[in-house]
């Protein structure tokens, strides 16, 4: 028996093969959840698995599992993987990289004739992206018992398709996969993914050891003042909601992120009513996307936001309403799994740092039912959810090597 090793050319070739399924003219991928393209990708993965005599399973959410037996098959498996669905104009690596790198790990173990103490399973979660059927991370959420899939029975997709019909068709398209119940005991979960941000590339690091997922709060701030003629209304008679909104945003932009490197605050959307060049608006609405890895700090920032918005509104004689449009608590990964991955990276001399994920992942829900952590690799310019998404071959190799090393370590400890 040789020592297990990633075959980087095989993985690279396989990424290209999968990128052909749903390929877009601009070099990206349109392989939305439960679409014919998604089914084709799932079929190809199942066939590759059968060729290696791995077990193939699916559950009621069409989460797809590839199982390589361990020494004791009664032990709960270690799960590794990601998703195969994409955004409508998505990239080739978001999801596919983690899924195919996990499959490469199974193949590397098989090539080496390595026996692991417990089984290892590769998973491709259903509908991580949520662009065709909202919400995203459906498969992992249902697997972790965090949502009852019955609620999605009558859901319609962005293309008008029935979720129930498309799910049934997807399950039926893979009759050779044995059905299993939703959810099962796991010894752990490791997900490799592209960073979808610029930090690793800018800092010249090969690996991010992900310690959790930021909590997210979306607020919609509505500032109401008094409409007026831009020419005929002197300053003392103005109750201008735009002046109030600018005061709010200015204070928040100058304080929240500059004082806390872990905080994120973004104004992505803003509108005035009525929106005339020559009218003082009657009202202004703007969005705040606020993120922090600590639930307590997130609450504190939201408290600051409310105080600042009310004070700036009052200064201009404007009323302020703040509505919560979305609220997701931070996900905290398992220290032992984080340590395992970090130690593996050190053994492989891969420059790395611990970091928090700014984007959602299936791992967010797996962390509720098993010791979970993630591995990030850099993507060019931090670009993702975009046909221009790109990962250097060296990063693909580094990630897969680390996933193999961490998988072996996690099943042996």
CA distance 197 to 207: 13
One residue of 266, 324, 412, 413 binding a copy of itself per CB under 8 A: 266
Continuous segment of H or E residues that includes residue 188: strand 188-194
Smallest separation, CB 213 to a copy of itself (Å): 9
Nearer to a copy of itself, 199 or 306 (CB): 199
260 is in an annotated binding site: no
Smallest separation, CB 367 to a copy of itself (Å): 17
385 is in an annotated binding site: yes
Residues 6 or more apart in contact with residue 362 via CB below 8 angstroms:
82, 83, 125, 128, 137, 139, 140, 191
CA distances from 398 to 168, 207, 208, 211, 229 (A): 37, 8, 11, 19, 61
| Angle of CA points 147, 153, 157, to nearest 5° | 100
Smallest separation, CB 280 to a copy of itself (Å): 6
For residue 257, state whether it binds a copy of itself (rule: CB under 8 A).
Answer: yes
CA distance 6 to 28: 25
With the C-alpha atoms ordered 350, 355, 359, 364, is the resulting torsion angle positive or negative?
Answer: positive
- Alpha carbon 318 to its chain centroid, in Å, reads 38
DSSP helix/strand/coil, 132: coil
94 is in an annotated binding site: yes
One residue of 22, 91, 119, 281 binding a copy of itself per CB under 8 A: 281
Smallest separation, CB 249 to a copy of itself (Å): 5
CA distance 89 to 322: 33
Q: Which of 366, 283, 362 is nearest to 76 (CA)?
A: 366
Contacts to a copy of itself from residues 185-244, by CB under 8 A: 195-199, 202, 214, 216, 218, 228-235, 237, 240, 242-243
One residue of 3, 151, 154, 278 binding a copy of itself per CB under 8 A: 278
- Alpha carbon 11 to its chain centroid, in Å, reads 22
CA distance 167 to 164: 5
Q: DSSP assignment of 6-75, as one string?
A: --HHHHHHHHHHHHTTTB-TTS-B---TTSHHHHHHHHHHHHHHHHTT-EEEE-TT--EEEEE--S-TTS
Write the secondary structure of 318-343 as one string of H (helix), E (strand) and C (coil): CEEEEEEEEEECCEECCHHHHHHHHH
For residue 158, state whether it binds a copy of itself (rule: CB under 8 A).
Answer: no
Smallest separation, CB 194 to a copy of itself (Å): 10
129 is in an annotated binding site: yes
For residue 115, state whether it binds a copy of itself (rule: CB under 8 A).
Answer: no
Nearer to a copy of itself, 51 or 277 (CB): 277
- Total site size for a copy of itself, rule CB under 8 A: 55
Contacts to a copy of itself from residues 291-320, by CB under 8 A: 291
> What would the x/- binding string for a copy of itself be over residues 337 to 366, using CB under 8 A?
--------------------xxx-------
Nearer to a copy of itself, 64 or 265 (CB): 265
The binding site for Zn(2+) consists of: 83, 94, 129, 193, 385
Q: Which residues of the chain form contacts with a copy of itself (CB under 8 A)?
A: 195-199, 202, 214, 216, 218, 228-235, 237, 240, 242-243, 246-247, 249-250, 253, 257-258, 261, 264, 266-272, 275-281, 287, 289, 291, 325-326, 357-359, 382, 384-385
The binding site consists of: 83, 94, 129, 193, 385
């Amino acid at each position: 028996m040789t020592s297990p090793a990633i075959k980087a050319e095989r993985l690279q070739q396989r990424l290209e093969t999968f990128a052909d399924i749903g390929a877009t003219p601009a070099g990206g991928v349109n392989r939305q959840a439960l679409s014919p393209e998604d089914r084709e990708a799932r079929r190809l993965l199942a066939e590759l698995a059968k060729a290696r005599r791995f077990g193939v399973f699916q559950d009621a959410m069409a989460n797809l599992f590839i199982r390589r037996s361990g020494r004791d098959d009664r032990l709960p498996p270690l799960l590794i993987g990601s998703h195969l669905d994409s955004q409508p104009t998505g990239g080739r690596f978001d999801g596919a990289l983690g899924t195919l790198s996990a499959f490469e790990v199974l193949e590397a173990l098989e090539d080496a004739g390595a026996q692991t103490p417990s089984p290892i399973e590769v998973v491709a979660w259903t509908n991580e992206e949520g662009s065709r059927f909202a919400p995203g991370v459906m498969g992992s959420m249902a697997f972790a018992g965090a949502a009852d899939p019955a609620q999605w029975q009558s859901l319609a997709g962005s293309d008008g398709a029935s979720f129930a019909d498309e799910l049934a068709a997807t399950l039926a398209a893979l009759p050779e996969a044995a059905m299993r119940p939703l959810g099962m005991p796991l010894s752990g979960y490791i997900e490799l993914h592209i960073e979808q941000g610029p930090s690793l590339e800018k800092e010249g690091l090969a690996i991010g050891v992900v310690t959790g997922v930021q909590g997210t709060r979306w607020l919609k701030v509505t500032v109401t003042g008094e409409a007026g003629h831009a020419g005929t209304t002197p300053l003392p008679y103005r109750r201008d909601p735009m002046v109030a909104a600018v005061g709010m945003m200015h204070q928040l932009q100058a304080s929240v992120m500059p004082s806390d490197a872990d905080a994120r605050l973004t104004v992505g959307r803003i509108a005035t009513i009525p929106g005339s060049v020559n009218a003082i608006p009657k009202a202004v609405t703007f969005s705040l996307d606020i993120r922090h890895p600590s639930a307590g700090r997130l609450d504190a920032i939201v408290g600051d936001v409310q105080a600042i918005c009310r004070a700036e509104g009052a200064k201009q004689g404007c009323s302020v309403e703040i509505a919560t449009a979305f609220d997701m608590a931070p996900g905290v990964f398992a220290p032992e799994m984080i340590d395992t991955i970090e130690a593996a990276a050190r053994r492989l001399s891969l420059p790395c740092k611990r970091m928090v994920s700014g984007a959602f992942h299936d791992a967010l829900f797996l962390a509720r039912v098993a010791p979970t952590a993630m591995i990030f690799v850099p993507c060019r310019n931090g670009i993702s959810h975009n046909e221009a998404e790109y990962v250097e071959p060296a990063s693909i190799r580094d990630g897969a090597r680390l996933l193999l090393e961490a998988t072996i370590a996690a099943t042996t400890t």
